[in-house]
Structure 1
Amino acid sequence: MINNKKKIKDNTKLVKFDEALELVRSEVDNSLSASPLIIRGYTKHLTESKGKFIRAVSVLICAEDKDGLIHPNAIKVAASIEILHLATLVHDDVIDNADLRRGDVTLQKKYGRKTAVICGDYLFCVALNLATNITDKEDYLDVDMPNYMGKICLGELNQHLNNGNLNLSMYQYLKIISGKTAALFEASFFAGAIFAGCKEAECKKYKQLGHYIGMIFQLIDDCIDFENTVDEAKKPVQSDYEQGVITLPLIKAFEDVSDLKEKASSDQMTREDINEAVAKAGGLSFTHRLVKKYHSKSMKIIRELELTENKKANLIEILNKASHLS
């Protein structure tokens, strides 16, 4: 159950969004740059390429009270979630043997896979330490960061176990990305709602909204592998299947193009075959239609929430960015 007692003490300094986001960036940079000397060179490399901080931004927007102010504990957890996300990217790059991330060389490419794995593990520890280093911890136990970390790991493992699975269903795939990607968005929105002092029913709506936006984010990423160039994506493209990852556009193609599975099972399927089959089956338009469904469900929740006009506009902006509508 959500603890609805008053969480904000009279002497706690609340901050506006812009200041809060700068504090999150500083918290992340300080956590990485203050790493033990043995690992500091590796974590410093990660600070040189900045992400969009969309998950941290989500925490902060959801954590705003009716006056647009944010509790400092939300800043700590937002930084924790951003470092947790960074840890998953480091591990993803090892699994995918990726050379490029955020337009820069990956940790595993520059320093080796074993070093990158250990650094990713270290970042998980940093994230968990930050999340537990907040005041009045007993008021925020419902955020349950270790549980969300477990969901992410299980989602990644589920994807790995289904690498090359030509019979992967849409239902199975959506379950994979529900853990692999959507869980961290869900945690971001849920944590923000708790820090804002929302009641249990409202917290559940924020949580569901985060889930939908996380699903959108991954489905759009699936399309980027087909639709964008390396320069646009700032990471490898036309490479998911080559890494064994079966995404929704290709699942649709396997269902609709009769000889595609036969080509794939006999290792005769080329990238040209994949692109032609996805185009023939309408795999990308199918995936974009699903994104629109999640977008509509998200908008329904946003309309149901009691929000200031500014907070509503900011939530819609996050939704549209995830959907590539802005």
Structure 2
Amino acid sequence: MTNKDIKTKENIDNVKLIKYDDAIKLVKKEVDSVLSSSPRVIRGYTEHLMGSNGKFIRAISLIACAEDIDGLVHPNAIKFAASIELLHLATLVHDDIIDNANLRRGSVTLQKKYGKRTAVICGDYLLAVSLKLAASINNKEDYLELDMPDYITKICVGELSQHINNYNLDLSVYRYLKIISGKTAALFEASFYAGAVLCETDKVKINKYKELGRYIGMIFQLTDDCMDFETTEDVAKKPVQSDYEQGVVTLPLIYTFKNMLGFKEKARNKEVTRDDINKAVVKSGGLNYTHLLSKKYYNKALGLINELEITPSKKGRLIAILNKSFRVL
């Protein structure tokens, strides 16, 4: 849908477009409303999650992509963005169960406070309300098909692939990048795609947004991989120095196993400590390699942003999101 189309629709159907900053506030309000208005049996658990809402980077991405030449956003973007955030929250609840995590965004996790069984059900509930919210969009026929279930499939397959490869010391760089393209990047891709279909009809342009989202998702995960070695729990607001202990072999360590003679065998024989691993990923260049790969994705993403025919303010927002993913914290 072009900007001209949206303006025309506003005149015919009296659709009130929303300013960017107001749209972000409305997304947060929508998410809080869903969490606080859950059925009584689950409300106490979902209200607990309201205190650990993150930075809404995926929702912000969607709203930024949906912004028209006047800096306005179609109201359907609010529900799409809230749906994306609820889906993301569902994946985090399930991740915390898998990782046995006690802390998320500085707050006690649902599984730690209420137990794993309750957390599983709450995660499933969030997934269900996310899909319900996305399906409640009016005039869906006006948009290109946004296949939310397909993105959920990609996320699930990515998570399962990671689980299957837990403690796989022979995991290749290619295979690992394939895993995180589903586990993390797919939801960013969905966010950028959903925003694009609200303001574009040209498939080539929409695919550029989609690709941009995937690149930013890859950057986000690779930067997060490095954080596990480079920062503290107080700074990250979540467990660090824990990926390997959970069986997750990330890119810095994959590179180290490949390039540091004998280290993989020591790890296989359980002859390495966490301190040994931390020193090895620095000495082998594993962290540098991961940062360099992240920088390559950054440059590709920046190139795509420069190719988009968008306003300076929208370009600035997308670059800010890109820079945020590159630093994460």
TM interval, short-chain normalised = over 0.9
SS in 1 for 2:327: coil
How far off is 1:140 after superposition? Answer: 3.0
Partner of 2:82: 79
Which amino acid in 2 is paired with 1:324? R
- Give 1:188-203 correspondences, 5 Å limit: 188-203=191-206
Matched, 1:97 2:104: no
1:255 matched to 2:239:
no
Alignment equivalent of 2:61, drawn from 58, 63, 72: 58
Q: Deviations over 1:184-222 (max 9, x none)?
A: 000000110101134111000000000000000000000
Q: Residue type matched to 1:46 in 2?
A: L
Verify: 1:22 aligned to 2:29, yes or no: no
Matched, 1:172 2:175: yes
Q: CA RMSD in A?
A: 1.6
- Match 1:294 to one of 294, 297, 300: 297
* Aligned with residue 235 of structure 2, among 232, 235, 260: 232
Could you report, residue by residue, the CA deviation over 1:280-300 in whole angstroms, capped at 9, with x for unpaired residues? 111111100001100110111
Deviations 1:59-115 (A, max 9, x none): 000000111110010110000000000000000000000000000110000001111
SS of the residue 1:142 aligns to: coil
Instruction: From 145, 162, 165, give the equivalent of 1:162.
Output: 165
- Segments of structure 2 that go 5 or more residues without pairing to the other structure are none
Q: Aligned in 2, Cα 1:318/1:198: closer, same or farther, shift over 3 Å?
A: farther
Partner secondary structure for residue 269 of structure 1: coil
Report if aligned partners of 1:4, 1:198 keep a CA contact under 8 Å in 2: no
- TM-score, normalized by length of structure 1? 0.97
Partner of 2:154: 151
Cα separation, 2, equivalents of 1:25 and 1:186: 20
Give how far 1:261 is off. Answer: 1.4
Structure 1 residues not aligned, in runs of 5+ = none
1:316 aligns with 2:314: no
Alignment of 1:209-224 (within 5 A): 209-224=212-227
Residues 120 and 3 (structure 1), Cα distance of their counterparts in 2 relative to 1, 3 Å cut: farther
Q: Is the 8 A contact 1:152 1:180 kept in 2?
A: yes
Give the conservation status (yes or no) of the 8 Å contact 1:169–1:251.
Answer: yes
Is 1:207 aligned to 2:210, yes or no? yes
Distance 1:126 1:141, change over 3 A: farther
2:103–2:109 contact (8 Å) kept in structure 1: yes
Q: How many residues align?
A: 325
SS in 2 for 1:143: coil
Deviation at 1:139, TM superposition (A): 2.4
